[in-house]
Amino acid sequence: GAVVSQHPSRVICKSGTSVKIECRSLDFQATTMFWYRQFPKKSLMLMATSNEGSKATYEQGVEKDKFLINHASLTLSTLTVTSAHPEDSSFYICSARDRSRGGEKLFFGSGTQLSVL
Amino acid sequence: GENVEQHPSTLSVQEGDSAVIKCTYSDSASNYFPWYKQELGKRPQLIIDIRSNVGEKKDQRIAVTLNKTAKHFSLHITETQPEDSAVYFCAASNAGNQFYFGTGTSLTVIP
C-alpha cells in the first residue's frame, strides 16, 4: 500500500510550548489529508480535514486556533498544537487518501504520542 | 454528519472459531466502507473494504458484507489465529471526502 510518514513519533514538552507534527505522503500526491486524535483504547476522532492550498475544515468542537493545520504542498501537511497543555496529551495520527490507487483508500501515518507536562 | 456505531466493543474467541463484528451508519450518502486493524501502538492497517454497489467481498479468511437498505455492514474472520488479535475499526466515507470511524472492537483470539 501507499506510504504515509509521520514525525515525530513521540514528543514530551512543557506546558505552554507549541508542537509541530508533520505528515508526508511518500509515494503519492495527497490533495486531502486527515488528522485524528486517539485516546488509549478508544476510537479515532476526526479533528480536521486538510486541503492542499486552502484552509482546513475543522470538526465541531475542535479549536482552529489551538490546532493549526497547514497543507502547503501535495505531499506535506502539518499540525501545530499551540500553547500545549496537559489535556492536549494524546496520540495524534494523520492519514491521506491515495486517489491514484482505486480512489478512496485511506492510509495512516505511524502516529505521534504527545505528552505535555 | 455521519454516525458510525460498532459492536461489540470486546470479543474473545477460541483459535479456529469465527469472529463477527458489526457496524451501522446513518448517512445514506456514505458509499465506501473500509475496515482497519490496529495493533497496540501501531498505525491502523487497511484489511478489506467494500463499496456501496457490492453486497459482499471476500479475501481469504476475511469477508465483509453490506446491507445498504438497513445501513449496516459486518466483518467476518474465519479460522481465527492468535495473530488476528488486535483492535478492529470500521469506517464509513462519502466518496472519500471524510472518513468516520466506529468505536472499535478489541478482538482476542485464545490459543
Instruction: Please tell me the predicted confidence (pLDDT) of residue B97.
Output: 73
**Which of the four pLDDT bands, split at 50, 70 and 90, describes residue B26?**
very high
* Gap between the Cα atoms of A38 and A111, Å rounded: 9
* Gap between the Cα atoms of A107 and A2, Å rounded: 7
* Residue of chain A with shortest Cα separation from B94: A104
Instruction: Please tell me the predicted confidence (pLDDT) of residue B25.
Output: 97
Residues of B in CB contact (< 8 Å) with A are: 6, 32, 34, 36, 42-46, 49, 51, 87, 89, 91, 93, 95-104, 106
The average pLDDT across B95-100 equals 77
Q: Which of B95, B99, B106 sits opposite A106 (nearest CB)?
A: B99
User: For residue range A30-65, what is the model confidence (pLDDT) as tens digits?
Assistant: 888 999 999 887 888 989 998 888 889 999 999 999
Instruction: Please tell me the predicted confidence (pLDDT) of residue B94.
Output: 84
Provide the grid cell at B14.
477460541
User: For residue range A61-106, what is the model confidence (pLDDT) as tens digits?
Assistant: 999 999 999 988 889 999 999 999 999 999 999 999 877 655 678 8
Instruction: Please tell me the predicted confidence (pLDDT) of residue A1.
Output: 66
How would you label A73-105 residue by residue, b for 16+ Cβ within 10 Å and e otherwise?
A: eebbbbbebeebeeebbbbbbbbbbbeeeeebb
Report CB contact under 8 Å: A43, B43. Answer: no
Report CB contact under 8 Å: B96, A104. Answer: yes
Which helix (DSSP H) or strand (DSSP E) does residue A97 occupy?
Answer: strand A90-97
Instruction: Please tell me the predicted confidence (pLDDT) of residue B73.
Output: 97
The average pLDDT across B22-29 equals 95
Report which of residues A29 and B71 the model is more confident about.
Answer: B71
Percent of chain B whose pLDDT exceeds 70: 99
Q: Say how many CB pairs under 8 Å bridge A and B.
A: 58
What is the radius of gyration, based on Cα positions, of chain B? 13
Report which of residues B29 and A42 the model is more confident about.
Answer: B29
Q: How close is the nearest chain A Cα to the Cα of B27, in Å?
A: 16
Report which of residues A101 and B108 the model is more confident about.
Answer: B108
Report CB contact under 8 Å: B98, A107. Answer: no
